[in-house]
Amino acid sequence: GAGVSQSPSNKVTEKGKDVELRCDPISGHTALYWYRQSLGQGLEFLIYFQGNSAPDKSGLPSDRFSAERTGGSVSTLTIQRTQQEDSAVYLCASSFKGDSNQPQHFGDGTRLSIL
């Protein structure tokens, strides 16, 4: 079956522009996570969606970052007025349910470069 799909795979944009990243989770997975991975670093939690519940936005680094998940499936992460420090790989993961005992299934990420 299809895995987690992310688009675009690469995005280069100028400082100050807005960007939108898309994640299509595995069908039937109710939990969806966004992470940020800077070069040579681990994963930084950004936001978590579970079904129709209010998302956990505690990891979003600033109010320039927002995310939504429509219809409990596809999610978009939006970064407004991008800064150079936003350059990183943005990874999306889904799991069957929102339980830390479940493995997470990752997409290949969007590599974002801010010039």
Q: Which is nearer to other proteins, 48 or 65 (CB)?
A: 48
Between residues 63 and 99, which has the closer beta carbon with respect to other proteins?
Answer: 99
Closer to other proteins by CB, 16 or 51: give it: 51
We find the least distance from the C-beta atom of residue 18 to other proteins, in angstroms, to be: 24
First to last CA, the chain: 37
Q: What is the DSSP letter of 56?
A: B
The region that residue 82 occupies, defined by phi over 0 for left and psi between -120 and 50 for alpha, beta otherwise, is beta
Q: Which residues form the interface with other proteins (CB under 8 A)?
A: 4, 31, 35, 40-43, 45, 48, 50, 56, 91, 93, 98-101, 103-109
The CB-of-73 to other proteins minimum distance in angstroms stands at: 18
| Full strand arrangement of the beta sheet holding 65-69 | 5-7, 19-24, 75-79, 65-69
